[in-house]
Structure 1
Amino acid sequence: MPASPRTPQPAPTAARGAAPSAPAGIDPRGPRVGAALTAVLLVVVLLLPGAAATVALAVVAALFAVGAVRGAQGSVQGLVYRGLVRPRLAPPAELEDPRPPRFAQLVGLVITGAGVLLALLGVPGAVVVAAALALVAAVLNAVFGLCLGCELYLLGVRVRHARS
């Protein structure tokens, strides 16, 4: 059974020249704080009129793109967490696999990017729908620790293992 995103990850110990089986774990509180910051930005998107909302959603999509490329810990929200929040907290009780939160950033990019693209193509309500979908996911993660993108990642891992 694959590890859940909340499963503690041991520090990688690879033999010389061998790649570690899993990347080093990350503090699970970081993605939750990042989700809270993203939720605030998405509320702003929903409050803005017309073209301003499209531009704001494009900014959120760009933030998701950074997170998808660099991982949740390398996102702007991750940098805010590490610089402002993490120094005030005790060390985490456990670490989580960084791959599910990174995939979740990609899912957020797809949703918000589609909203921006559809808005630019003139589809009415595209920004509102995309922002609302992303907001629901961000709030679930920030408040309840339920990362929908992480769960999609784990489902994909299970399906891939079941096929092999």
Structure 2
Amino acid sequence: MFEGAPVDPRGPRFAAWLTTAVLAVVLATGWWPLLAAQAVVFGIGAFVGLKQAPYSVLYRKLVAPRLGPTDEREDAAPLRFAQAVGFGFAVIGTAGFVLAIPALGLVATAFALVAALLNAAFGFCLGCESYLLLQRLAPSNR
């Protein structure tokens, strides 16, 4: 389900910085339409593909041409899983704000923000690591 071509690891890191900025604005303002837009961004990355995700397009068109090429690649599956987890938190957060349960909106947004910031600042993708852990715990099909 979360397959895809290997990706330049600098792209997801760029996306994590943009996501961090968006989620910080949502936390500071409580403006749920921005969180809903971020949910759409997460959803495209998770369920359509990383190549079509808006932040990936920005990276490829505006940032990558200014960087030197890299031979380093990351598997897309953990990244897409991380996008799906972000999608879940963004949807729950949006619902919290829309349904006048601001604590739910703030907590869900804060969890997504922490995960995005960990990836952006330290290169630690919490969703990716969760995906790998789940893969190890899953029964083998052998």
Q: TM-score, normalised by structure 2?
A: 0.90
What are structure 2's unaligned runs of at least 5 residues? none
Cα distance in structure 1, aligned partners of 2:116 and 2:50: 13
1:95 equivalent to 2:73? Answer yes
Q: Cα deviations across residues 52-72 of structure 1 (Å, max 9, x unaligned)?
A: x11111111111111112233
2:104 maps to 126
Q: Give the SS at the match of 2:102.
A: coil
| Aligned-residue offset at 1:120 | 2.5
Cα distance in structure 2, aligned partners of 1:95 and 1:63: 22
1:39–1:135: 8 Å Cα contact kept in structure 2? yes
**One-letter amino acid matched to 1:91:** P
| Aligned-residue offset at 1:35 | 0.5
1:81 maps to 59
2:28 maps to 47
| Aligned-residue offset at 1:121 | 2.6
What are structure 1's unaligned runs of at least 5 residues? 1-21
Higher-Rg member (1/2)? 1
Match of residue 28, structure 1, among 9, 26, 35: 9
Cα distance in structure 1, aligned partners of 2:48 and 2:12: 13
Match of residue 84, structure 2, among 67, 90, 106: 106
Q: Cα deviations across residues 57-104 of structure 1 (Å, max 9, x unaligned)?
A: 111111111111223332100001000110011112311101110110
Aligned residues: 140
1:117 maps to 95
Match of residue 66, structure 1, among 41, 44, 47: 44
Q: Cα deviations across residues 7-34 of structure 1 (Å, max 9, x unaligned)?
A: xxxxxxxxxxxxxxx7431101100000
2:95–2:105: 8 Å Cα contact kept in structure 1? no
